[in-house]
Amino acid sequence: MTGQKIPGIQILPFRGEYYELKPEKQYLVNNLIYPVPNPEFPFLGVHYTRMIEGGIEAGPNAVLAFRREGYSRWDLDLSELLETLSYPGFMRLAAKHWRYGWGEMYRSFSKSAFVKALQHLIPDVGYDDLQRGGAGVRAMACDLEGKLIDEFLIFEDHNIINVCSAPSPAATASLAIGKTIAGKALERV
Ligand SMILES: Cc1cc2nc3c(=O)[nH]c(=O)nc-3n(C[C@H](O)[C@H](O)[C@H](O)COP(=O)(O)OP(=O)(O)OC[C@H]3O[C@@H](n4cnc5c(N)ncnc54)[C@H](O)[C@@H]3O)c2cc1C
């Protein structure tokens, strides 16, 4: 965006952390393994993903990042964090889902808790079968009522097309997103 905000919408950064399954246990995962999602949240819950270059990722969780590019648990930017915490939509979200949020935060620091969540899908995966992997940050749009927006949000102003929310599966949908934006641009020619 160009400094202009969509009224009532703010982007909240949620980090997703992964573990990796060690090679000797990768035979346990021959395909993508997902839980049944909770429709209240745009996050799927931890799952197992076979990577295109080999290897198995396990995760991600969904924890509030303390800065927009907060890829590690220790990344903090006070002014960005205050911006998040003081947003009325975030306050409403936190009041409603504080238990879920604390659970995710706890899993971020406790490997045992993370492993327990993964064992719901594969009981044979043990603590020592996993090593810490990477992390990504989802830019989640949140409205003033505290609802995380799980739809694509494209906002057009005078001469700019802003992609304000591109929730999962944005990579899978990237060609369609590009086509939509190109279509909108062509309408202006
Ligand atoms: C935890 C998590 C789980 C996800 N799961 C899914 C999923 O299951 N399915 C799905 O379809 N999508 C998923 N997504 C969304 C998907 O990852 C993103 O939509 C996609 O990666 C966006 O692609 P991009 O190329 O626009 O941006 P990015 O993948 O972020 O790539 C941007 C690149 O630009 C580089 N860059 C940034 N600034 C500069 C600069 N100034 N100079 C040079 N290089 C720069 C960055 O280093 C980066 O490599 C997930 C995202 C997260 C965070």
Residues 129/22, Cβ–Cβ less than 8 Å? yes
Virtual torsion, Cα 183, 150, 1, 86, nearest 10 deg? 170
Point out the ligand 1 atom lying closest to the alpha carbon of residue 138.
Answer: 53
Cα of 138 vs centre of ligand 1, distance in Å, is: 9
The CB of 89 under 6 Å from ligand 1? The reply is no
The CB of 28 under 6 Å from ligand 1? The reply is no
The span from the CA of 132 to the CA of 58, in Å, is 9
Point out the ligand 1 atom lying closest to the alpha carbon of residue 16.
Answer: 1
* Neighbour-count burial for 120-147, b at 16+ CB within 10 Å, e otherwise: ebbeebeeebbeebebebbebbbbeebe
pLDDT confidence band for 189 (50 / 70 / 90): confident
Point out the ligand 1 atom lying closest to the alpha carbon of residue 49.
Answer: 8
The CB of 16 under 6 Å from ligand 1? The reply is yes
> Is the preceding peptide bond at 39 cis, omega within 30 degrees of 0?
no
Which residues does residue 153 pair with via DSSP β-bridges, in sequence order?
A: 165
pLDDT in tens, 80-109: 999 999 999 999 999 999 999 999 999 999
The CB of 59 under 6 Å from ligand 1? The reply is no
What are the helix (H) ranges across 5-127? 78-85, 88-109, 111-119
Q: Could you give phi then psi for residue 121, rounded to 5 degrees?
A: -90, -40
pLDDT in tens, 17-74: 999 999 999 999 999 999 998 888 878 899 999 999 999 999 999 999 999 999 999 9
pTM recorded for the entire structure: 0.90
With a cut of 70, say whether residue 2 has pLDDT above it.
no
With a cut of 50, say whether residue 113 has pLDDT above it.
yes
